Every structure is written in structure tokens, then in C-alpha cells.
Amino acid sequence: MPATAPSPATHAVAALLDELVVLGVEHLVVCPGSRSQALALTAVALERDARVRVHVRLDERSAGFLALGLGRATGRPAAVIVTSGTAVANLAPAVLEAHHSGIPLLLLTADRPPELRGVGANQATTQPGMFAAFVRDEVDAQVPVAVDDADTDASGFRALARRAFSAASAVPAGPVHVNLPLREPLAGALPGWWGNGHPGGHGLPVEVDDAEEPVAWADGAPTIVLAGADAGPDAVMAAERFGWPLLAEIVSGARRGRNAVPDYRARLRAPELGGAVRRVVVYGHPTLTREGTRLLQREDVDVIAVRGPGESIDLNHRSTAVSARTVLDGAFVADGDWLARWLAPVDPRPAPTALDREALVSAVWDATAADDRVVFGSSRLVRVADDVLAPKAVAVHANRGLAGIDGLIATASGIALGAGRGVTRLVLGDLSFLHDVGSLLMPADEAEPRLQVIVGNDGGGTIFDTLEVAQVADPVDFARVQYTPHRVRLADLARAYGWAHRVVTTVEELREAVADPPSGRQIVEVPLPR
């Protein structure tokens, strides 16, 4: 039966969510709960009015990464709504990734009122400050106490929405925590102004201030551009404008254009190339190679760290942080011989004939068109992709802020739903897949993402086979705590969660599968040798 008692909670969150939508929030991710019911019910009322899309998820960790993926795809913060207690704590992995990657994200967490904190009340913990080190802003909101149908602001909650949206969308973008202590009645009728137009503001002005002191560039220093995760087109533009070699990780979104260096890891190891570098202009967050990390740590190299969405790079503790505009405004003399040496052709790799990791990533790369995108998980496969894939104008995403295996299916789902066109292909290993298997659960009454999850299944964590631990650990102990073998039947999981599933055992079958994906959700399982 619908609630009839006036609900200050409903009036307040109606103003909050209405203003967020006016400001530009397009997606609300909702987890079920009692204390958050006013938020959840108001969210679906907004969707009913065709003003926002609502995505319901049972697992708060999945919900957080879904919202993060939506933020990655759209560049706007999605809001995730959860109830109190452990529900809030489950958002932590997504919050950390959003912080380190610079992804806009809004956390709307319902809470007990102050009189129920610290007294043993059910489902009550210390929520204010829970993410203090990792959020752009945090607010422990006032408790709504009055109902007034004429109060379209609900006594300050529109201003709170503007503050949160502005902080999440600023440069650098990131997560914002709005904690909402609410008293009963927790839900009720929407306020009288609801549905009579939108009384909120008209968005926020975007202020960009790239003004900074000119940088004294060392003239003639042998320079390269190193592009890490989320570097994007700015790295390509700088390299081509000044004639610099472009060393672009596969997750950078910058492995394209005439200056992209093939086989860059081997060339970084060469004394006459990598050893001669004296200046690195770094975009994004390089994480995939030890050669790149060593370069950024060298004392004889000037590192120019271009400010981006995530953390600035300063591995040698004397890097200079600048804006992308400052780099482009610089005056440099191109050294054509330096560039030519980096771009010297290499022998082409023979096309893979056996179904191995190289064949897997190559098939996905070849099948990906301009309207599609690839999401790489943190596994052995992304490193193989970084080694072998040729330059190509492809949209690439990866959670490399902390390079964890958390929430990869959820993140890719958010990217697919936010992009709205083409195919999203997620490439990951079997352990990464199993770590986020709960994100396969999606409501039957919501639109499916067009998402193809390609799982390289080698029965465990073979990435550890490539690390020093494999040489020093007892083989039995290594297998148990590092390789962590499993016997999970992915086909049964797919069937249980309602996903299409296909096993491919040849290169030809794999290329056929990725070239013609279904319109909804599919898991493509690729058995691989250890």
C-alpha cells in the first residue's frame, strides 16, 4: 500500500535528485535497501518521466563499478544509491579506482540519523569520512525535518546537489560522497511541485584555467612521448606536432598515427634508443611495462608529466607537472633522424595459426571497428596485447588506476550502456572473470548492453608464471596461493545468469565469434594452454 504520511526524506531527496538530473546526470545505479527507499523510489519516478536511466543491481561492489564504467563512457558522473552499513563499504574498490583514474562518480549513501550512531543500532556504522582520502568532496548532510510543498529546494538539498556535481566534474574529476542521514517515515508522496516543470538551475559553468608559468625546456634534448592509460588523443597530437616518437601502451587510446613506435619495449631496452632518451613527455598513467617505469625513474631524464584525469606521475621525485596546452605552446625543433631511428621497420609477425594469447588479442583487435570499443582486464592478456598489437584508431578502456581485477564485468557493462552504440568487447582472464562473476546478474526488465566478454581460460593465474615468484617458490605452494587453479564450468555460469555462451577452439572459430557478436550479452570462452 502506498505510504500516505508526509516524508521529509522524500521531499529532500526529490530536490537532490531532480537538481542532479538538471545538471546533467543521466544514469542512476540503485541497490535495494530500506534506509535508501526514498532515493530509490524517486529514481524510478525520474525514469518514468523519461529524464534518467535507472540500473538496478543487487551487489553494491558491482553497482559501484557499473557507475564507474558509465562515467568512463560518458564523461559525466553517474550516481550510485545504496543503503547504510556494509552496503557503503562495498563501494570502496570503485571509489579508489575512480580516484586514481580521475573518473567522475557520485555516491549517495543513506544513513541512520545522528542519534542512532555509535549506540549499537542495527545496520549503523561510521559512514562520514569512510572515503576521506579518496574523494574530491564529502558531505554529511543535514537530516530532513520538515515537509513544505512550496519548498522546491527542500531546504538546501539543491545546493548540495550543485556542490557534489561540481566537485565530481572538476579537473581532476573523481568521486564525491554525499552521506544522507534519514529519519522515518523513509518514503512518502512526492512533493507537490513534482511534475510541474523542473524548478532547478540550468547547469554549472565549466571553468578551465590552464594558465601557468612558462616552462624552460632544454633545447635539443632527445625526447619521446610515453602514453599510459587514458592518455587519449593529446599524446598523439603532441608527438606529431613536434616530431617525437610516440610510445603508447595498448590501454592508452593513443596507439595510432604516424609516430606510433612498433615494438616499443625492445627499443626502450636498446642503449642507442632508450638509453639516449633525455626527456619524456608522459600522458596518462603508464603501468604495463618495467621498461617504462625504469625510464620514468631515471635521474638523467627530465620527466614532463602532463596533467590528466588521474594522478600526476612523479616516479623520479623531480618531474614537472604541466597542462596539455603548455606542451603544445612550447617551441621545439624536430629531429627527423631521432624519429626515424625509433620508427625503423621491424620484421612483421607471422599471423597466429594456433589458438594462443596472441591469436586471441589479435582477433579482437582486428574485429573492432570505429564505433566499437575494447576493455582490457588486468591480466596476462593485456600485456600480450601491448606487445603485439599494431597501431589502430580504436577506443580502449581499462581500469589501470590501481590495476586491480575488481569489477571488470561491471565496468564493461557500464561502458557498453553509456556508449549506446557499437559493440563493447571485454578481454580478460579466467580469474578476473570469476572475481566479478556476480556482475553477470542483470535485471530482466532492463535493456541489455551489447557486450561480448572474451575469457582466456587457462585454469588459473598464469600471469604469476612470468614473475620472479615462479622461480623461487615451492611448486606446490606456488600453485595453491599464486596460480590458484580452478575447475569452474563457465558454460554453467553463463546458463545460470542468462548469458549466451560459446567455446572456441580454433583461430577460425574465434575470428568468426568476434566478427559477428549477438545483439545482447555473450561470453566467448577461449581455452588456453598454461
Q: Where are the domains of the chain?
A: 8-181, 223-342, 357-527
pLDDT of residue 147: 82
CA atoms within 13 A on the CB side of 378: 17
Share of the chain above pLDDT 90, in %: 83
Mean pLDDT of 98-125: 95
The answer, yes or no, to whether the previous bond of 350 is cis (omega within 30 of 0) is no
For residues 437 and 335, which has the higher predicted lDDT (pLDDT)?
Answer: 437
Looking up cell 624536430, which residue turns up? 334
Instruction: Report how far residue 374's alpha carbon sits from residue 363's, in angstroms, rounded to the nearest whole number.
Output: 12
Report the alpha-carbon distance of residue 378 to residue 400 in Å, rounded. 8
Give, in words, the CATH class of 8-181: alpha beta
- Which pLDDT does position 530 carry in this prediction? 87
Cα distances from 119 to residues 36, 141, 180, in angstroms, run 21, 20, 18
DSSP, res 271: T
CATH number for the domain whose boundaries are 357-527: 3.40.50.970
C-alpha cell at 457: 581460460
CA distances from 24 to 18, 76, 107, 201, 204 (A): 10, 7, 16, 11, 9
Q: What is the CATH number of domain 223-342?
A: 3.40.50.1220
Question: What's the pLDDT at 146?
Answer: 85
Q: Read off the pLDDT of residues 402-449 as tens digits, 9 standing for 90 and up.
A: 999 999 999 999 999 999 889 999 999 999 999 999 999 999 999 999
User: pLDDT value at position 458?
Assistant: 95
Of the candidates 51, 12, 28, 172, the residue with the CA atom closest to the CA atom of residue 107: 28
> Which tens digit of pLDDT belongs to each residue from 198-214?
666 555 544 444 456 55
Q: How confident is the model at residue 3 (pLDDT cuts 50, 70, 90)?
A: very low
Look at residue 220 in the predicted model and tell me its pLDDT. Answer: 80
Here the cell at position 411 is 565496468
Global confidence as pTM: 0.95
CA 411 to CA 409: how far, in whole Å?
5
Q: Tally helices (H) and strands (E) across the chain.
A: 19, 17
For 54, residues 6+ apart whose C-beta sits below 8 A from its C-beta are 27, 28, 29, 30, 43, 44, 46, 47
Give residue 90's pLDDT band: very low, low, confident or very high (50, 70, 90): very high
Q: Indicate if the pLDDT at residue 286 is higher than 50.
A: yes
For residue 465, is pLDDT > 90? no
At 184, list the grid cell. 522515518
Q: Is the pLDDT of residue 4 over 70?
A: no
CATH topology identical between 8-181 and 357-527: yes
The pLDDT, as a whole number, for residue 363 is 97
Phi, psi at residue 100, to the nearest 5°? -75, -25
pLDDT, position 200: 65
Band (pLDDT 50/70/90 cuts) for residue 347 is confident
Q: Which of 1-10, 75-84, 162-171, 437-446 has the lowest mean pLDDT?
A: 1-10
Q: In the predicted model, what is the mean pLDDT of residues 268-279? A: 96
With contact defined as beta carbons under 8 Å apart, do 229 and 400 qualify? yes
Task: Tell me the per-residue pLDDT of 363-382, one tens digit each, with 9 for 90 and over.
Answer: 999 999 999 999 999 989 99
- Please say if the pLDDT value at position 47 is more than 90: yes
CA-wise closest residue to 97 among 525, 390, 411, 455: 411
**What is the separation of C-alpha 329 from the centre of its chain, rounded to a whole number of angstroms?**
30
